[in-house]
Amino acid sequence: MITRRQWLQASAAFAGAMALGPRSLFAQATKTVKVGVGLKSINASVINLLIGEALGYNAEEGFKVQGMALGGNANVQVATNKGDVDVGIGVPSYALPILAKGEWGNAQWFYQYTYPYKWDVAVKPGTPIKAYADLKGKNIGVSDFGGTEYPVTRNVLKQMGIDPDKDVKWTAVGAGTPAGVALQRGAIDALAYYDTGFGIIEGAGIPFEIVQRPADLPMIGGQFLMALRERIKAERELFVGFGRSTAKASVFILANPAAGAKAFLKLYPETAPRGSSEEQAVKSVLEAISRRIKLYEPPYAGAKMGSIREDEFVTEAKMNGWDITDFSKIYTNDLIADINKFDVEKIRAQAKAYGQ
């Protein structure tokens, strides 16, 4: 039997909920999409996956996003396969060896959110190292051996005839500023890293020079959104919605990078340098993403935003001697047409007017 006190408590709770209005009630019912990223902490390198929350794109699709930094690509893959996250970031350097062994699970890539090629090698200003060929016999730093820069740079050296196991030494030096400090202090001869990582080092005021890239770099190493195949089929609208939010956010950032930075800091103010002003915080985000945003759009004529090209996987598999004849298990382009059903010019106009 419900007591009078319990009835009064329930009535008060119901009245309070009604007072919040329909929008608040709907927000409570909105699905939370857990997005797993292979980082030790959330940073601006995944800005286009997250700012749809601040810009209203996620709400338009009926969900909200929770970014989850899982520490590494292997952890993201496991979490996606187990269903602990709804969407994860997939990388070929980790996934293709699994596919080659016939051990690929039920995850499927459905949107390419960063295209090749985003890695470089940096050296201290004035060093005699000017080309990748000069790296032979040198100590090359990487953030850690689970980072994408390690397998990708190994592949490039191998393609040039440099044995990545015998001809160079590899040292894990940490991510971000610590990597730059290791280079500055001479603990390593060169630093292999990716675009947003170099942006962080640049923002810390550490000088470096980028080694000239070799000609005909392989188009490998894109990054992808993935989810369980059966869930994509059963909840197609949800994953189209997440892809569309990411595409809109990418267009928004390309149109007005500073506005994208402000939207990101609205969600993650803790990522700003301690004691920085708003202007300084925005500048730090822009320094981190300036190289990455150029890779949001496909480098292939006529390709739609987020579309996936199998020949990238074929190239990487051949470079590594992975025997893979069927890549169809690992990706799909079935959602791309629907993901791109939005008014691009409207998003650009929104970006240009943001904050005014």
pLDDT of residue 223: 94
Instruction: Specify whether the CB–CB gap between 47 and 262 falls below 8 A.
Output: no
Query: What CATH number does the domain located at 29-111+221-278+294-353 have?
Result: 3.40.190.10
Q: Is the pLDDT of residue 129 over 70?
A: yes
CA distance 92 to 95: 5
Provide the pLDDT for residue 4. 45
pLDDT for the residue numbered 276: 92
Query: Quick one: pLDDT band at residue 23, thresholds 50, 70, 90?
Result: very low
Domain boundaries, the chain: 29-111+221-278+294-353, 119-210
Structure confidence at residue 255 (pLDDT): 97
pTM of the predicted structure, to 2 decimals? 0.80
Give the residue, 106 or 204, on which the prediction is more confident: 106
**Would the pLDDT of 49 be above 70?**
yes
pLDDT for res 17: 36
Which tens digits make up the pLDDT trace of 168-180?
Answer: 999 999 988 999 9
* Total residues belonging to the chain: 356
Looking at residue 285, its pLDDT comes to 94
Task: Using the predicted structure, report yes or no on whether residue 28 has a pLDDT greater than 70.
Answer: no
Q: What is the mean pLDDT of residues 182-189?
A: 97
Q: How many CB atoms lie within 10 A of CB 242?
A: 27
**Identity of the amino acid at 341:** K
Q: 119-210 — its CATH code?
A: 3.40.190.10
Cβ pair 140, 153 in contact under 8 A: yes
Domain 29-111+221-278+294-353 matches domain 119-210 at the CATH topology level: yes
The DSSP output letter for 119 is: E
Q: How much is the average pLDDT of 48-71?
A: 97
Rounded CA separation 114/116 (Å): 7
Percent of the chain at pLDDT above 90? 75
| Contact between 149 and 172 (Cβ < 8 Å) | no
